Structure 1
Amino acid sequence: MNRIARPRLTALAVATALASAILATAPAVHAEGTDLSDPAAVTLLADYSCGSVSGSDNAIATRLSAALTGSLNNYLTAYRVSCARAIINAVQARGLSHRAAVIAVTTSIVETTLRNIPGGDLDSVGLFQQRDSWGSFDQRMDPTWSTNAFLSQMLKVSNWQTRPVGDVCQAVQISAYPTRYQEQAQDAEQIVNAVLADTTTGDEPVAGNWDAGNGSPAGNVGVFRPSTGQFHLRMDDGSLKILDWGQAGDIPVSANWDGAGPDNVGVFRPSTGQFHLRMDDGSLKILDWGQAGDLPVAGNWDAGNGSPAGNVGVFRPSTGQFHLRMDDGSLKILDWGQAGDIPVSGNWDGAGPDNVGVFRPSTGQFHLRMDDGSLKILDWGQAGDLPVSANFDGGNGTPAGNIGIWRPSTGQFHLRNDDGSLTVLDWGQPR
């Protein structure tokens, strides 16, 4: 019987076969040459949890992804938002500033595109790609521990509070690509602001003159509750008026859509780029205006033409522009604000059409645009606050609009009166 000759198994062949078997069952590592700062790059690394991924994280990702201008443009996911949230929570627990959160999130965007991964270059792992000299594997893979380790080094950087964000990141990371960080700082600020404001699950503030039908000129406050799709409006006498309008993920707006009587409510739906406005008789008016990533605003842009009806508009963070819809459906563009700002509208001059403005969470300042295009800055609020505007002093006969903020941590409105004094109103559910 003929025998089939078998090749001799050399030591090299045995070693090669054994190595192949081990690699087949070993945990995957990143593909050779993979750039972890590129969200489109394919890696074999499994994402480690940064904490539970919530509906809020998904809503923020949906709203912001297309608006970002850096590497996460169209790549921001709910998981990545959850990692940003873990970083921000660690910053807040340590009592550090909004700027510290922006620096930390910027760093993680560059290092891993906000992913908590168990590998990278050499022995680097985690959100910040920290080497084994920083701590154990388990420590570096823990979002809270790794963020605190990063922050401890950041605090050693001289003038970290005022130096460019990218410079501070580089001083901690000592990267071979030092210019990459500053390029992502603007997106990091948008993400931090969105997480701090988190207008997707908890109450969201709104302001308008709900009692105008009673002859009262003063503005009122209220909240939109996404979990129930209801507006909870505070009337002049402190009583509650509930209106069923909107759904989770919507952003509330208010103006006098009918041009008479009390102000009306409405919502902007980022998923469709539509405004759903509630008229005096409870009917629905839909306006297509805006796109994913825009933030809504409402006011009477056409008042100079004698029109009393309110209009809608959006603030586009990616361009720092307001896109306002006029009565005839035409577009008016105003350059005002920057990425990370939150839009407001009111009649700051007390005459003519309403004006636009922005609240800048990083500084706690309102930057208001006056009729002549000049800038008026008011210090009011802090990071995490959400802005509102109405004529809170209308009972004093003054026509000028006022600003204020709603503080999610306390469920309180802090309203600024004409004389600069503070009125505090408890309204809404703390987050």
Structure 2
Amino acid sequence: MIGTAEGLARAYAKRWLWKAAAPVAVPVFGVLTLLLIPLAVLAAPDASTSVASSACSIGGTGASVAGTELDSVQMGHAQTIVTVAAAQGLDPYAATVALATAYQESRIRMLANDGSSPELTAEQAAVTATSLTYPHDGLGSDHDSVNTFQQRWIAGWGSVAQLMDPVYAAEAFYRRLVEVPNWQVIPLTQAAQAVQVSAYGSAYARWEPLASELTTMLWPAAQATAADASGAVAGVCPDLPVPAGSWIRSTAGTVTSGYGPRGGTWHAGTDIAGPRDGPVYAAADGTAVRAECTSAYCDRDGSLSLAGYGNLVELDHGGGVTTRYAHLSAYTVTAGQRVSAGTLIGFQGSTGNSTGVHLHFEVRLDGASVDPVPWLTSRGVDLHAASAG
């Protein structure tokens, strides 16, 4: 899908709330995961391990809002919801309605669904359960409902894949909200209920104070994001501890497209698909020679009709070896900056000539592309190894 939320990664990283907090204020479990599992040698996870968006993201920093404690994952999703509203030209009340709805439905968490509801047919259950394959913060089992808003694919909200994208989920909510007559002036609980058609329609009003305060906190950064199309952000994920001179796997995810001919053209790299805004790290020591938008726009998702890499970082490792990291939602380095293997350089996105969230990774020798898979294999890195999200 082509998101309309402009630069969600920038909103996360620039949000004024974070600036008073240390960059390491991400979920403790996520930090430990990254410290203990270098992406250079990713082992296959246990089958029962869910992919958690809290592993390390640009989600946010926990806060107390209207007497309610929200952790970094909840704050990250809240910022997404508010930023999408601002990007679509809606007013703060729209964001307040959405936040109250999300808190009532999921406590502002991206919930997957195991399809165990007895209301589903076997086929519907199987489709619903595919939500488990996408980044999520927990499980629900209410019919076929998924995500922060508990939207239902059977009810026409979108495909499971779309609904498990936080940006799409917020966009879908606002599409229906603006169709509600007089939504800007009717009570919040009526506006929310008109969108959700919930069996507990009066419950949304309980969370209006929380949602209103959250909107006030997050709206300035959302507005700034809508006004600033730059792809550069400050890094908030910790760098990986990597021995000097090592090569590593740059990001978590699954290889979805390899090096070589593809659709009548030459695919000069390897695509690794992981969570939207998943961290991307320098594959080896080097110097950033490019960190820029290379397409007509990079403030939102691109498409096959758009030329260029989108947000691109290129690193020079010396000896004629360079690497490229493309389609980033945002980048955290500047041209001329020296980086070490494991330095955070950006976040997975879908900018430029792209139709889905992933990292396009290239290795070049004296300017000519080479297959990244054997190159990294010879340096002890298996791009095809299963990876933890």
TM-score in terms of structure 2 length:
0.36
Of Structure 1 and Structure 2, the greater helix share is in 2
Of Structure 1 and Structure 2, the greater strand share is in 1
Structure with the larger RCO, 1 or 2 (CA within 8 Å, 6+ apart): 2
TM-score in terms of structure 1 length:
0.32
Rg (Cα) greater in structure: 1
